[in-house]
């Protein structure tokens, strides 16, 4: 009989957490104050932190950040590398569509911009872009592969390079 492994103990979860901590440290080194949303994930650490209303709740991005009177959300994704897509002829990064729309709703409710950070393990690049700036270049996929509810893809070159963590190594 196989024993179920808690999601927080999987390699996938640990990779993501490493990226979240890396980006939090990079932001702090640039003067940002950080509230890691993942610190608020239920009694057993098994529930995503949510912005809760009377009838609806939305998962919040990984980091709540502030500096000099500016407050933003930062969602962090850790990827091995960008994927080349024959359909578009470009390198892309994607996120689950249901998360994309939840982050857009969190932005509407809070009035705070959502930024997407991608940590590429192979290149060492930490990429970033405002979710609103990615709207014009996004590609939506509605099929059943990859993630329940579809995916949203963005061209890699729509992101700015925030830093490269290998450059100083």
Between CA 40 and CA 48 the distance in angstroms is 8
Q: Are 154 and 92 in contact (CB under 8 A)?
A: yes
Residue 169 binned pLDDT confidence (cut-offs 50, 70, 90): low
Between CA 34 and CA 137 the distance in angstroms is 29
Between CA 148 and CA 69 the distance in angstroms is 37
**Percentage of the chain lying above the pLDDT 90 cut:** 76
Q: Provide long-range contacts, Cβ within 8 A and 24+ apart, for 43-50.
A: 45/8, 46/6, 46/7, 46/8
Instruction: Please give the C-alpha separations between residue 163 and each of 40, 47, 57, 123, 160, in angstroms, as whole numbers.
Output: 28, 31, 33, 11, 9
| pLDDT tens digits for range 99-139 | 999 999 999 999 999 999 999 999 999 999 999 999 999 99
Residue 168 binned pLDDT confidence (cut-offs 50, 70, 90): low
Q: Please give the average per-residue pLDDT across 144-158, as a whole number.
A: 89
Tokens of 10: 């999987």
Residue 163 binned pLDDT confidence (cut-offs 50, 70, 90): very high
Class of domain 7-164: alpha beta
Instruction: Please give the C-alpha separations between residue 143 and each of 56, 96, 113, 149, in angstroms, as whole numbers.
Output: 25, 11, 28, 7
Residue 142 binned pLDDT confidence (cut-offs 50, 70, 90): confident
Q: What rounded mean pLDDT belongs to the chain?
A: 91
Between CA 40 and CA 6 the distance in angstroms is 17
Residue 5 binned pLDDT confidence (cut-offs 50, 70, 90): low
pLDDT at 9: 77
What are the residues whose beta carbons fall under 8 Å from the beta carbon of 161, sequence distance 6 or more?
Answer: 125, 126, 127
Weakest mean pLDDT among 35-39, 43-47, 62-66, 87-91: 43-47
Q: Where are the alpha helices (DSSP H) in the chain?
A: 11-29, 97-110, 131-134
Strands 70-79 and 113-120: parallel
């Amino acid at each position: 009989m196989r024993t179920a492994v808690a999601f927080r103990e999987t390699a996938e979860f640990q990779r993501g957490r490493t990226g979240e901590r890396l980006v939090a440290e990079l932001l702090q080194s640039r003067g940002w104050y950080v509230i890691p949303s993942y610190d608020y994930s239920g009694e057993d650490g098994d529930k995503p932190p949510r912005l809760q209303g009377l009838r609806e709740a939305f998962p919040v991005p990984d980091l709540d950040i502030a500096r000099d009177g500016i407050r933003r959300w930062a969602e962090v994704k850790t990827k091995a590398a960008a994927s080349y897509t024959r359909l578009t002829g470009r390198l892309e990064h994607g996120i689950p569509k249901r998360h994309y729309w939840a982050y857009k709703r969190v932005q509407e409710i809070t009035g705070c911009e959502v930024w997407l950070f991608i940590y590429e393990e192979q290149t060492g690049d930490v990429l970033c872009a405002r979710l609103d700036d990615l709207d014009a270049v996004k590609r939506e996929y509605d099929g059943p592969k990859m993630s329940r509810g579809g995916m949203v893809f963005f061209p890699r070159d729509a992101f700015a390079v925030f830093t490269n963590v290998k450059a100083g190594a």
